[in-house]
Every structure is written in C-alpha cells, then in structure tokens.
Amino acid sequence: MKTRLLGAFAMSFLFLSTAFADAIYFTSGEELKGLVVEEHRDRIVVSTVDGERVIARGEIDEIFFDDPERNYLYLGNRSLAGGDFTVAQGLFRKALQIYPEFQEADDALNRAADLKAKRGVPSLTLSADLSGELLTRWGLRLKAGEGYPEVQSVEPGSQAQRAGIAAGDRLTAVWGESLAFLPVREAAYLLLGPGGSMAKITLARRIELIPAGPAQPAWPGFRFSTERMGLTVAAVDPGGSASGAGLLAGDRVAAVDGQATRYLPLKEVQLQVEKSRGQGLTLTVHRDLRVVRQ
C-alpha cells in the first residue's frame, strides 16, 4: 500500500512549520501544503492543519514531496503506470540510494518486476476469469468489501490458508500497491502471477483479546514499539491473551477499539490498552505475508 504511516505521536506536530511539508499543485492552480499519508490508485489522503483531506488524482497536476527519496518513488510510480519499466526501476533504485531502508521503494522494485513478469503469462489478463483462477491456484474467494476487497472464504489446505490468510481478512496491498477501491477482478490480477514467483500481501485483521481473569498473566501480553511504518507490536508473550488471540510480533496496529492510532500519542494508546483489562480489547492490525504462487 502506498501509505505514508506516521506512527503514534509522530504528528505532534509536524505542521508547526509549513516549511517542512509536501506540496500538492492542482489543475485549478490551487496549492496545498500538508503531508501525503495515503496514496491509492484514484486518490490520495493529505494531512493538513485543518485535518485530513481526500483528493482525487484527476484534480492533481503535480506533487512535490519534502523527502527527496519519496519524489523518486513518486516519479517511478508514474513511469510504472505508463508501462516504462526501465525508467521506473531506475528511479526506485535512486530512492534506495538516498535511503537504503526505504521499504516502499524496495516494494516498488519488486512490484515492477512482478508486473513485467505477468506480461509473459497469456492467461493473466483483466478479461480472463481471474476469480476462478484465484480459487484454483490459491483456494481463495474474494468479495467487494468496505474500501478493500474482503476474503469471503479460504479452502482448507490451500495455498492461501498455508500463507496465513483467513476469511474476514481485508487485503490492503500487493507489493505496496494499495487495493483500496479496486474491483475484485483487478485485486485478483495483482495477486496472481507466474508459478514460483512471490507476492507480498498486506492484510488487515481484527483481533479480539478477551478480558483478563484474576489469575491471568500481566495484561495485555504484548509490547508496542514505534517504527517508521507505524505503531508496531514489538513482542508477544507466549501463553498470554495476545498470543492466544493470534497477535504476532511485527503486526502494525492501525486501530485500538475502533480508534485510529495514526495521530494518537503513544502514552495515550498504552493507557487505553491498560484500562481495557476487564473489558477486553479489539485491535485492527496490518500484517505482511509473502506467498509463493503456484
């Protein structure tokens, strides 16, 4: 997913000076300063001093990012959308030269290679029965969900089940490309690929932690860290509530009891979790999976 996550407390506060902000130039001549926090195929989400603003791609003339490596990523994605794989890959590599740990650029490089490889598979076209192909190869059925495609069912013993995908999950990205607002057919196209190739999938899952009993180990049985990609589960205690609920180290916590963590201070999130011992806790997490295609 081309999503620029801020991590809990990272926005406290970015806009004290607009000198350090992304600049969006509209076809109308308007200019907006803010931070691009999400990028989807047909729209972006910008965080501004007045709150978040959703902007359709068709309204945008150009974007200039405050981070130089993100400008190269942006230009590379534009080249990739135009089918120029060589230029796109060169721009993604330039972004990685500037910032070697830039995960989004590394994902983009893999996405470019993946899209190029699909062109050599005659059956992989948007006019084909891709839902049937996805069921045959992955054992996976998708349906349209709220914003993102949702997993309707997973066949027992299938590739999807072995990878850790479950019914009810929402699939949010493939190699970092957002699946938001895409038809199920296009999401299936991005998931599928030549046999033996790899797909990096990001899913969103609700995890329910039951209330802690008197004799239960310390609540909640996991610890946070703040990473560049957002609020992250640093460790999960074996045998605790979080472990039993299926929480994994490396999961990125997008919401706590339905409240988005994007702009919440870390201490506030921790306090909310600590207070939930007697009521239980619902986490929405994002998890990356790497799946070898059949």
Q: Can you name the residues that pair with 245 across neighbouring β-strands?
A: none
What pLDDT does 16 receive? 40
What pLDDT does 236 receive? 95
> Taking a C-beta distance cutoff of 8 angstroms, is the pair 160, 138 a contact?
yes
Radius of gyration of the chain (CA): 20
* Amino acid letter, 269: V
* Amino acid letter, 229: M
DSSP 190: H
Domains and CATH numbers, the chain: 2-118 (2.30.30.100), 130-194 (2.30.42.10), 206-289 (2.30.42.10)
pLDDT tens digits in sequence order for the chain, 294 residues long: 555 555 444 443 344 444 458 999 999 999 999 999 999 999 999 999 999 999 999 999 999 999 999 999 999 999 999 999 999 999 999 999 999 999 999 999 999 999 999 988 888 888 778 999 999 999 999 999 889 999 999 999 999 999 999 999 999 999 999 999 999 999 999 999 998 999 999 999 999 998 877 666 677 889 988 888 889 999 999 988 899 899 999 999 999 999 999 888 888 888 888 888 888 899 999 999 999 998
| Token representation of residue 129 | 């029965």
CB atoms within 10 A of CB 125: 11
DSSP sequence for 54-118: EEEGGGEEEEE-SSHHHHHHHHHHHHHHTT-HHHHHHHHHHHHHH-TT-HHHHHHHHHHHHHHHH
Read off the pTM.
0.89
Backbone angles phi, psi at 241, to 5 degrees: -60, -45
Backbone angles phi, psi at 130, to 5 degrees: -75, -30
**C-alpha span between 90 and 180 (Å, rounded):** 27
Give the ranges where the chain is alpha helix by DSSP (H): 68-81, 85-98, 103-118, 130-138, 159-163, 184-191, 241-245, 266-275
What pLDDT does 227 receive? 85
CB atoms within 10 A of CB 30: 10
What pLDDT does 70 receive? 96
What pLDDT does 212 receive? 75
